[in-house]
Structure 1
Amino acid sequence: MPQERYARGLAKLEEIDGEAGTRVIDSLHDIAPDFARYLIEFPFGDIYSRPGLDLRSREIAVVAALTAMGNAAPQLKVHIGGALNVGVTRDEIVEVIMQMAVYAGFPAALNGLFAAREVFAARAMEHPG
């Protein structure tokens, strides 16, 4: 069962976040390899793999939550990329982040918009045209 959970989580992580997710996991191997495993098994192997929501809906929720937190810019950038990977549009991401100004305040929404701008610019550099 643990191996199945890990394999399911790793596949889901790669489906959503691609290289960005792999970089996060790899960055933990020298300091907390168990934590890297937990990140694969629980969020991606257990939660993201549940049938109740599609990946698009899940990533919209994560972008909203991380924006509202206001202190998770690196994770927000990874999940903005993940949202784009699963079909959320740039305009939808911007709207979700703007919506968070109502509940989390303007500073959190501004930080979210700045993170989105960075992700969008990096994507444009990777895929010009």
Structure 2
Amino acid sequence: MKEANNFRKLLLAILLLNINMMIAQDKNTGSTHLNAHQQSMASICALSAVGNIQKLKTELNTGLDSGLSVNEIKEALVQLYAYCGFPRSLNAINAFMEVLENRKADGITDLQGKEASPINATNDKYSVGKETLQKLTGKEEKGPKTGANAFAPAIDVFLKEHLFADIFSRDVLNYRQREFVTISILSAMSRVEPQLQAHISMGLNTGITEGQIMELSAIIEKQIGKEQAEIVKNALEKVIQINKKIN
């Protein structure tokens, strides 16, 4: 009897240890696997990026059914325009409006979610955007501008003040979620490998895992195609190799 009690105590201790490890892991990365919310968000962003409205409507319903809030999806669809333009963003938003109207007509009440908090407009937006970008890349930006930012300085200003200040400062989605949205968008688009690679690197810095990117590639294969999925895998491998050299 005593041995049986000791065995049960040991099993309980192991169970509690595993639970605590899972909780700690979830706090740091949101799990090493994509949950239902993340899977739906990936599909929504990818299909919006390529303009497949019919499949998008299906995934919007799936996302809402899985518990994504209306405002979370709105934020992702607004952010979409910074990477693939107003037409794709507006078409996706209009599709979302139609889905919500149909669900309301069917008696479905969807979770609205929290509204974005007011942004402190007194701060210099360029500095805010620069600081945000440095957090995402894990690198301090110093020295003269290079590349496209030096050739066309206006793009540097727009990226800092609008994308990384105006959009990334909105708190409905955190940095990790916004990077996941961005990676999902770029993963669906052709001929944007440099940007995809850069954002995969930023995503890993915010807590997205290599395993989650691999799972995303499977979603891209299903929703977009095998060729795009291979591009995602190759981009991830390049980032891993670069990080190994740095470390």
Q: Give the TM-score normalised by the residue count of structure 2.
A: 0.47
Instruction: Report which of the two structures shows the higher radius of gyration computed on alpha carbons.
Output: 2
The 8 Å contact of residues 21 and 78 in structure 1, kept in 2 or not, is answered as: no
Residue by residue over 1:33-55, the C-alpha shift from the partner in whole angstroms, topping out at 9 and shown as x without a partner, is 01111111111011111101111
Equivalent position to 1:46, from 166, 171, 175:
166
What is the distance in 1 between the residues matched to 2:141 and 2:192? 15
What is the distance in 2 between the residues matched to 1:65 and 1:58? 11
Mapping of 1:75-94 within 5 angstroms?
Answer: 75-94=195-214
* SS of residue in 2 equivalent to 1:70: coil
The 8 Å contact of residues 20 and 78 in structure 1, kept in 2 or not, is answered as: no
* Residue identity matched to 2:234: F
Runs of 4+ in 1 over 6 A off after TM superposition: 20-23
Of Structure 1 and Structure 2, which has the larger fraction of its residues in helix?
1
What is the distance in 1 between the residues matched to 2:168 and 2:141? 14
For the pair 1:5 / 2:125, whether they are aligned, the reply is yes
Give aligned pairs, total. Answer: 126
Deviation at 1:22, TM superposition (A): 7.5
For the pair 1:123 / 2:240, whether they are aligned, the reply is no
Q: CA RMSD in A?
A: 2.2
What is the distance in 2 between the residues matched to 1:105 and 1:79? 20
Mapping of 1:33-112 within 5 angstroms?
Answer: 33-112=153-232
Deviation at 1:28, TM superposition (A): 2.3
* SS of residue in 1 equivalent to 2:150: coil
Equivalent position to 2:134, from 14, 18, 31:
14
Cα 1:106–1:57 change in 2 (3 A) is same
Q: Name the % identity.
A: 28
